[in-house]
Amino acid sequence: MEKSNENKLEEHPKGITGLFLTEMWERLSYYGMRALLVLYLVNALGFSDKDAGVIYAYYTSFVYLTPVIGGYITDRYLSYRFAIYFGSILMLLGHLSLAISGLSYFYLGLCLLALGNGFFKPNISTIFGRLYVEKPNLRDSGFTIFYLGINVGGLLGPIISGTLGEKVDWHLGFLSAGLGMAIGILVFYFGSKSLPQSIWEKTKTPNQTYTDESSNSLNRYQNDVMPKIALIGLLSFFSIFFWMAFEQMGSSLNLFALRHTDRNMFGFEIPASILQSLNPLMILVFGPLVSLLWTSLSKTNRNPNPILKFVISLFLLGIGFLVMVIAANQAETGVSVSLFFLVFVYFWNTMSELCLSPVGLSFVSKMAPTKFASFLMGTWFLCTAFGHYAAGILSGYQKEWGSMVHFYGLFVVVSWIASLILLGIYLWKKNSILPLLESK
């Protein structure tokens, strides 16, 4: 009997399948459109690399900036369910607008996508995290599984939308992304019915309610809540350096694949946009292994805490761009580089991502007080927005940098310095940080 209960505790909560599939279809639409964005601006509309980089920077940063606003509004005025539906419908309208010719519809579509994402993204992540309140030991593993849903969509989106956009018609590619969003809305409608009603309720636990003005209540707030919020802020800040480098995949690395990479294989030229599927494909292959690794290590109390996982992530990211420096050095001689250079770059970037992005989502959902849950999840995405903005702006200056070797070398140096600084902060404040990380 005891063995049966023990096995039951190791099972993931019911209802994660519906959220997994909803996120999968929504990400299919997003990454399908993202794979086409810079290529469409440069090849179809005749934008310069610099101007395309600026638009990419504004769009991808606003996609992660609007969750701060959406999270704030939801915390105070909206239900989680309504916010997710509202955001989904806005994104569907955005994809449909992109499918219509004309710059006005193009810009309108980007605005609707960014606004819709602001209501959708923080709330579906918050709801997923609330499923693990009773099983905190499975939280990191659960968010890695959730992350697989993101990357199934990330794998299929560029293949479907990228192929249709580059080989048939750009607007048909954007339309196919909209179809993915429409399916996502239907999946959420039926899948959310299996979720427990309690996760939709914005109830506060005694440990998370601080309306009493007594000194004891104030001390508890200062000693418990504020340090946790500070930790969320610390990791959110260091995530900026990750996204600044990682998001080169959708911009400068996408153009590198188009211009400097030999994409011929078995007599067929692979569209540059399809290479955006390498990262999600690798996450689908290695994500379950990483999830099992975290679960296995947690049983022996050797699972690295979130801060150390961030340190590892930034170090691995630097390795990936070190490979890119080698590829850029060859490309500058006028020789097209092997496709396998990008495969190795995306491999190390993927390993880095698995140590940071799902871990960050898990960390915020665990540490954030219920009263500020969506807002703090939005703050995580705000720092992601800063990283995306920096990535887009920097990508536009690749040609003006003077050397692609120096350009990609920048990300090696920044990633490794950030890793060392974060490790130093952790070792310096370890005694005060560890109790917070171990708290339920």
pLDDT over 70 percentage in the chain: 91
Domain boundaries, given as residue ranges, for the chain:
14-195+219-264+271-438
- At residue 6, what is the residue type? E
pLDDT of residue 276: 83
- Among candidate residues 26, 5, 40, the one with its CA nearest the CA of residue 251: 40
Please tell me whether residue 332 adopts helix, strand or coil conformation: coil
Say whether pLDDT at 272 is over 50.
yes
pLDDT digits (tens, 9 = 90+) for 302-334: 889 999 999 999 999 999 999 999 999 999 988
**CB neighbourhood size of 10 (10 A):** 12
Contact 242, 314 (CB under 8 A): yes
pLDDT of residue 373: 74
pLDDT of residue 202: 66
pLDDT of residue 9: 38
Q: Confidence band (pLDDT; 50, 70, 90) for 214?
A: very low
In this prediction, residues 344-357 reach a mean pLDDT of 94
Q: Confidence band (pLDDT; 50, 70, 90) for 287?
A: confident
Q: How far is CA 250 from the centre of its chain?
A: 13
pLDDT digits (tens, 9 = 90+) for 118-134: 899 888 877 887 787 77
Q: Confidence band (pLDDT; 50, 70, 90) for 154?
A: confident
CA distance 375 to 118: 11
pLDDT of residue 222: 55
Please state, rounded to an integer, the average pLDDT across all residues of the chain: 84
pLDDT of residue 89: 94
Which of 150-164, 246-260, 390-404 shows the lowest per-residue confidence on average (mean pLDDT)?
Answer: 390-404
Structure tokens at 262: 């030999």
Instruction: Say if domain 14-195+219-264+271-438 classifies as CATH 3.40.800.10.
Output: no
- Among candidate residues 214, 196, 229, the one with its CA nearest the CA of residue 371: 229
In this prediction, residues 426-439 reach a mean pLDDT of 83
pTM score, whole prediction:
0.77
